[in-house]
Amino acid sequence: MREVKVAKSAGFCFGVQRAVDMVYEEASKADNTDRKVYTLGPVIHNEQVVSDMESRGVYVVEDTDSIEDGPGTTVIIRSHGVPKDVINTLKEKNVNIADATCPFVSKIHHIAEEKYNEGYHIIVVGDAKHPEVEGICGWCKNSADVIGSMEEALNYNSHKDKKLCIVSQTTFNYKKFQDIVDIFLKKSYDILV
């Protein structure tokens, strides 16, 4: 008989596990009440888990317009995070916000916002269509440039007069990230990584 060994690191990363746990906790609190629980986008890229959450009364929505206003509503921010204006909209709707943004992603949000406010131009290395990258861009007033490949980095010639702050999507390939940063260094940009 064959033995199956499961790696110690199998399963969700801690940020996703934290978000999943938060959804189940909020769903449990809302059970048998009039409270509504929403997630902005699927909290995880796993259809079985998302279906199970929906069966427990969690609504998966793609925008804030689909969310009921008021204190009887809880909105869970998924681990990818969201742009700052989405947080502000939720506050205006007077809903409870359960922020499950991965701490690593939150740190990038704060760096992007801080450095943008200090006059840096923000470069996000990653996939422009990924929700995490969209969220990061929203913390620097959507002014960031997104670089997803070495070719894009080689062709980049903007903002020579500004200091650049380069951040990365947390799941982006680290070697590719280093190679892209090296391209910016060779072009003599004044960069902060």
Query: Residue 81: is its pLDDT beyond 80?
Result: yes
Query: Residue 76: is its pLDDT beyond 90?
Result: yes
Containing 98, the helix (H) or strand (E) segment is strand 96-99
Q: Which two tokens stand for residue 93?
A: 């709707």
Query: Which CATH code is given to the segment(s) 104-192?
Result: 3.40.1010.20
Sequence ranges of the domains in the chain: 14-101, 104-192
Average pLDDT of every residue of the chain: 93
First to last CA, the chain: 51
Spatial neighbors of 112 by CB under 8 A, at least 6 apart, are: 122, 124, 136, 137, 139, 140, 144, 165, 167
Query: Residue 58: is its pLDDT beyond 90?
Result: yes
- CA nearest neighbour of 137 among 111, 163, 175, 155: 111
118 a catalytic residue: no
Cα atoms in the Cβ-side hemisphere of radius 13 Å centred on 89: 15
pLDDT, tens digit, for every residue of 8-45? Answer: 777 788 888 999 999 999 999 998 888 999 999 999 88
Facing residues of 58 across strands?
37
**Out of 3, 47, 114, 132, which one is annotated catalytic?**
132
Query: Residue 66: is its pLDDT beyond 90?
Result: yes
Residue-wise over 166-179: b if at least 16 C-beta within 10 A, else e? Answer: bbbbbebeeebbee
CATH of the domain spanning 14-101, picked from 3.40.1280.10, 3.40.50.2300, 3.40.50.11270, 3.40.50.300: 3.40.50.11270
85 within 8 A of 138, measured Cβ to Cβ: yes
Query: Residue 140: is its pLDDT beyond 80?
Result: yes
Query: Residue 79: is its pLDDT beyond 80?
Result: yes
pLDDT computed for residue 193 by the predictor? 82
Band the pLDDT of 171: cuts 50, 70, 90. Answer: very high
pLDDT computed for residue 44 by the predictor? 86
Q: Position 91: which residue type?
A: K
Percent of the chain, pLDDT > 90? 78
Helices (H), the chain: 14-30, 47-55, 84-92, 103-117, 131-137, 150-155, 174-186
Residue carrying structure tokens 């990924």: 130
pLDDT computed for residue 161 by the predictor? 87
At 94, is the secondary structure helix, strand, or coil? coil
pLDDT computed for residue 178 by the predictor? 97
pLDDT computed for residue 50 by the predictor? 93
* 127 vs 9, more confident: 127
